[in-house]
Structure formats: structure tokens, C-alpha cells
């Protein structure tokens, strides 16, 4: 039970219609989520702001007594840009949907909806939000995808776009051999029809910029196949 509690994601549901709130809460709890319910706008905003770091996702009804979903979403976004927010709405014009997204929601679901559809969208958002790794390391080398920045021994290293992309590919696939054809597909583009020896030029540039002088290169050559960064560091 304790393990289950710690591994659960916590969701705040702000919904004033009891039957809908119960239906969503019961379904999500069966899926292993922890769910807190607020049945009016003011309470919802209060809970959101009091426990913002605790929630992995917020489900927000649009029409609520007290404050409406748009107002709550705007107030949440002032404090926290990260937490995924999904609107639940009976409104069904395109304009309304755009309005909801402009207020800072990540997605919206129109009532009535199938529980499975809502669950699928929740999972997509949670995966995008928490599952996507953006910092990769090997030894003293660190690559930060969001900041588009590479450092070695905490000092910034200038890389070209292609060098960066190649290093990112190898670090993402640490421990696996990056085959030449796959590197070309991923780092150049799928229709690149030049000789794959262009990769060697970029590998050499990465080695020059990032290897420790005199030491074995951090990028291994797998002869006739491709390149690899070990997952030993």
C-alpha cells in the first residue's frame, strides 16, 4: 500500500456536478491515481494554490460556481507554468476551445466524454510532462536539450547544430550502437543521400571539443557499424 501511494500521481479535480465528479474520481482511483475533488471554483483555486507542487495534473470544469475554470487556470498559471491542466467543458465551439487554451490549459475535453478518452489524454500529458528526459550526462559532459547547451567540467562548449544533434542522439542511446544509417536518419534527415562518411567528420569534431586530452575518446568507434557512448558513466 505504501509503495502504491508513493508511486501514484496526484490529480486535482475541480467539478461542481457530484455525479460527474464521482464518476471521474472513482475511475481514476481504480487506475491508481490519487484524486482530490473540489466542488466549487473558490475551493478549487485554493487547493490548487495551497498544494501546487503536489499535483501532477489538474482537471478543471469550465462552468463553476464562485470562479469559473478560465479564471482558475489564469491564476494557477501566474504561479506555475508547468502543471498540466485539462479543461472539462460542455461548451463546444472552436472559439471557446481556443479561449481555454489561451488561458493556459494544455488540453480540453468536451462533455459528455468517454472515460477511456479522458484517461488516454491524461496519460499523454503526464508522459510529456514528467517522462521526457531533457538533461543527458556522460562523465563531466552534460547536454541540456531545453537550454540547447553543452558543458564539459561545467564550462560551456560551443557546438554547431549538427554536432549538438549528433551528441544528443548518442547520449539518448547511451550503451547502444548508433548505426550509421540510423544516425543519418535521425541527425541529418531521412532523405539525406550523401556518403555516410560525413558522420566521421562530426564525430571527430565532437572528440576534439569534448575528449579529455590524452585519454581514450568518450565516443567509441564500432568498426563498420557506427558509434557508441558507453553507459558506464
Residues in contact with Ca ion by CB under 5 A are: 16, 61, 63
Nearer to Ca ion, 16 or 96 (CB): 16
Please tell me the distance from the alpha carbon of residue 88 to that of residue 105, in angstroms, as a whole number.
10
CB of 19 to Ca ion, least distance (A): 11
CB of 61 to Ca ion, least distance (A): 4
Answer whether 4's CB lies under 8 Å from 32's CB: yes
CB of 59 to Ca ion, least distance (A): 12
**What is the residue whose three cell numbers read 551528441?**
167
Tell me the longest C-alpha to C-alpha distance in the chain.
69
Nearer to Ca ion, 63 or 177 (CB): 63
* Of the candidates 122, 166, 171, 141, the residue with the CA atom closest to the CA atom of residue 8: 122
Nearer to Ca ion, 61 or 168 (CB): 61
Nearer to Ca ion, 66 or 104 (CB): 66
Please tell me the distance from the alpha carbon of residue 132 to that of residue 96, in angstroms, as a whole number.
30
CB of 182 to Ca ion, least distance (A): 50
Amino acid at each position: 500500500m505504501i509503495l502504491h501511494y508513493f508511486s501514484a500521481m496526484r490529480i486535482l479535480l475541480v467539478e461542481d456536478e457530484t455525479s460527474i465528479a464521482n464518476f471521474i474520481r472513482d475511475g481514476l482511483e481504480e487506475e491508481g491515481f490519487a484524486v482530490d475533488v473540489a466542488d466549487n471554483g473558490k475551493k478549487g483555486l485554493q487547493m490548487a494554490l495551497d498544494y501546487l507542487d503536489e499535483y501532477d495534473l489538474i482537471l478543471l470544469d469550465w462552468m463553476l460556481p464562485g470562479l469559473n475554470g478560465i479564471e482558475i487556470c489564469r491564476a494557477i498559471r501566474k504561479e506555475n507554468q508547468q502543471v498540466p491542466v485539462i479543461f472539462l467543458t460542455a461548451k463546444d465551439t472552436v472559439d471557446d476551445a481556443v479561449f481555454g487554451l489561451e488561458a493556459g490549459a494544455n488540453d480540453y475535453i468536451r462533455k459528455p466524454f468517454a472515460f477511456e478518452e479522458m484517461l488516454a489524454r491524461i496519460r499523454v500529458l503526464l508522459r510529456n510532462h514528467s517522462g521526457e528526459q531533457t538533461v543527458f550526462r556522460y562523465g563531466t559532459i552534460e547536454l541540456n536539450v531545453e537550454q540547447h547547451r553543452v558543458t564539459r567540467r561545467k564550462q560551456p562548449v560551443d557546438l554547431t547544430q549538427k554536432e549538438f544533434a549528433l551528441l544528443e542522439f548518442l547520449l539518448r542511446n547511451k550503451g547502444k550502437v548508433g548505426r550509421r544509417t540510423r544516425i543519418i536518419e535521425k541527425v541529418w534527415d531521412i532523405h539525406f543521400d550523401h556518403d555516410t562518411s560525413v558522420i566521421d567528420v562530426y564525430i571527430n569534431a565532437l572528440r576534439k571539443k569534448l575528449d579529455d586530452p590524452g585519454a581514450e575518446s568518450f565516443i567509441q568507434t564500432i568498426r563498420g557499424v557506427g558509434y557508441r557512448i558507453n553507459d558506464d558513466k
